[in-house]
Amino acid sequence: MAGASSSSYVLILCSFLFVSSAIAQTSFRPRALILPVTKDPSTLQYLAQINQRTPLVPVSVTLDLGGQFLWVDCEQGYVSSTYRPARCRSAQCSLARATGCGECFSPPRPGCNNNTCSLLPDNTVTRTATSGELASDVVSIQSTDGRNPGRNVSVSQFLFVCGSTFLLQGLASGVKGMAGLGRTRIALPSQFAADFSFDRKFAVCLSSSTTARGVVIFGDGPYRFLPNIDASTNLIYTPLIINPVSTASAYSSGEPSAEYFIGVRSIKINEKDVPINTTLLSIDSEGNGGTKISSVNPYTVLESSIYNAVINAFVSELSNVTRVTPVAPFGACFSSRNIGSTRVGPAVPNIDLVLQSESVYWRIFGANSMVQVNNDVLCLGFVDGGVNPTTSIVIGGHQIEDNLLQFDLATSRLGFSSSLLFRQTTCANFNFTSNA
Ligand SMILES: *[C@@H]1O[C@H](CO)[C@@H](O)[C@H](O)[C@H]1NC(C)=O
Ligand SMILES: *[C@@H]1O[C@H](CO)[C@@H](O)[C@H](O)[C@H]1NC(C)=O
Ligand SMILES: *[C@@H]1O[C@H](CO)[C@@H](O)[C@H](O)[C@H]1NC(C)=O
Ligand SMILES: *[C@@H]1O[C@H](CO)[C@@H](O)[C@H](O)[C@H]1NC(C)=O
Ligand SMILES: *[C@@H]1O[C@H](CO)[C@@H](O)[C@H](O)[C@H]1NC(C)=O
């Protein structure tokens, strides 16, 4: 009697546990998501793996901070039972601002369906674009509590665009597309924020190492790096500026740029003003000029007159150090024997990008300004963008490594940490050991 009643009690308890864990599984709402990022040593591109399709496969993609959306090659090797093209005039097409309606005159396959809307997938490394079908498929990504990766979560209808095999030219070996983190509604940050109802915020922390991973975190902080440093605190904030004219390789008129622009007002080296033509620092009515941040340029690119002024000022501030023959693509190189080292890299003059007021600046220290090209030579890691480039200053990968950048799309604001080396951590210090 007593035995029977206790075993039915056990049975009830078990089914209760089963039911409650099934509910927890389906109602689990991550507060943030995490995407590990590697740096490809030959192209210097930052790469991530997106787990997509049914069955799930890891798809290697080049990270494009200002990119409009995720695009992948659908021409070769795209196999999935959950691929769905976006039908013309559907809510998906309108969210993506894809107004056209297309037909395809080959046998149907992912990327080739009738009555679908299309967009222009863009290889922003080679600046080549084509037309591709808007579609959705399953994407799975790891959640995080801001400290470790947690359980994987999936989005059943993640929007992306089908690219072509030829569009992969110029991307790192094995890469099958690009992951756009730009300002559109269908770029990764906005889609994840909408799918999991968290803030439209994300952080990028790129590692300077080709062997240790950096990270993109979708959602708000904390963003903890070993040894327990929350890099979302002590950020400096500056407004993000919308360039009203698209900077993509191909676009329809009236489209704003998906890229992240900030308002640099002047440049200082060793706290002295560098004489530059300030007209180049603002964005004109055709969308030219201004300053943007890019993950597809390995080094900062400056319009020629700005480049020459920066090189001259830097060289004169470092006149006590032997200048050596420049090593391409750089213009100012120095013997590293005469340069001391500090916690934040080689002991060279600081470069400040002065923002909305004199007291708000992005300070670039030696670790982010200098590139070690060989044992004896350090070069200033800026390159000449020629005369009349579309954008006057493109802050590139080397200058943002080991800095945490938080983009807040709702308030159109960038938070930046400057060098994390000051806080005795790096972007490679996220603890990737899962605690799921
Ligand atoms: C699309 O429709 C056209 C006829 O309008 C047909 O020739 C073609 O095969 C169809 N393509 C696909 C991919 O179904
Ligand atoms: C979760 O995703 C990660 C990387 O995206 C993968 O390595 C891991 O195997 C996945 N875990 C499970 C339980 O599916
Ligand atoms: C400054 O740059 C603008 C835009 O390129 C140009 O029109 C102007 O002539 C330049 N001014 C000087 C003094 O070089
Ligand atoms: C050269 O000048 C820099 C910056 O002013 C200083 O940090 C460095 O110690 C000097 N180096 C030598 C060899 O005097
Ligand atoms: C990384 O996280 C794991 C899982 O929480 C933990 O066991 C480990 O101690 C952490 N590593 C360090 C170096 O703190």
Same domain, 192 and 278: no
Q: Is the CB of 226 under 6 A from ligand 5?
A: yes
* Interatomic CA distance for residues 194 and 176, integer angstroms: 25
Average pLDDT over residues 14-29: 45
CATH at residue 108: 2.40.70.10
| Residue 123, C-beta contacts closer than 8 angstroms, at least 6 positions apart | 129, 163, 167, 168, 169, 170, 171, 178, 249
Average pLDDT over residues 350-365: 98
* Residue range of the domain that includes 331: 229-429
Q: What is the pTM of this model?
A: 0.92
Same domain, 313 and 178: no
Residue nearest to atom 3 of ligand 2 (CA): 142
Same domain, 101 and 130: yes
Question: Would 102 be classed as within a structural domain?
Answer: yes
pLDDT at 128 over 70: yes
- pLDDT tens digit string along 222-233? 999 999 999 999
Check if the beta carbon of residue 227 is closer than 8 Å to that of residue 42: no
Check if the beta carbon of residue 367 is closer than 8 Å to that of residue 346: yes
Q: Is the CB of 228 under 6 A from ligand 5?
A: no
Q: Express as a percent the part of the chain with pLDDT over 70.
A: 94
Same domain, 210 and 252: no
- pLDDT tens digit string along 365-417? 999 999 999 999 999 999 999 999 999 999 999 999 999 999 999 999 999 99
Same domain, 249 and 307: yes
Token reading at 79: 């196999």
Same domain, 163 and 274: no
Check if the beta carbon of residue 321 is closer than 8 Å to that of residue 70: no
Same domain, 218 and 258: no
State which of 320, 343, 369 you would mutate to test the pocket of ligand 4, scoring each by most atoms of that ligand within 8 A of its C-beta: 320
Average pLDDT over residues 116-144: 97
* Interatomic CA distance for residues 174 and 171, integer angstroms: 8
Average pLDDT over residues 341-360: 97
Identify which of 420, 409, 432 has the alpha carbon closest to the alpha carbon of residue 218: 409
* Interatomic CA distance for residues 129 and 251, integer angstroms: 9
- The residue from 204, 222, 240 where one domain ends is 222
Same domain, 192 and 254: no
Which of 197-201, 252-256, 344-348 is predicted with the least confidence, judged by mean pLDDT?
Answer: 252-256
Q: Is the CB of 113 under 6 A from ligand 1?
A: yes
Give the per-residue pLDDT at 100: 83
**Number of domains observed in the structure of the chain:** 2
Q: How far is the CA of 218 from the centre of ligand 5 (A)?
A: 21
Sheet architecture: strand order including 351-354: 272-273, 266-269, 351-354, 361-364
Question: Would 435 be classed as within a structural domain?
Answer: no
Looking at the DSSP bridge assignments, the partners of residue 153 are: 141
| Residue 144, C-beta contacts closer than 8 angstroms, at least 6 positions apart | 30, 31, 32, 33, 34, 150, 217
Give the per-residue pLDDT at 352: 98
Give the per-residue pLDDT at 26: 52
Same domain, 97 and 136: yes
- pLDDT tens digit string along 298-312? 999 999 999 999 999
Give the per-residue pLDDT at 2: 36
Check if the beta carbon of residue 341 is closer than 8 Å to that of residue 380: no
Residue nearest to atom 14 of ligand 4 (CA): 320
Same domain, 179 and 241: no
Number of other CB atoms surrounding residue 423 within 10 Å: 17
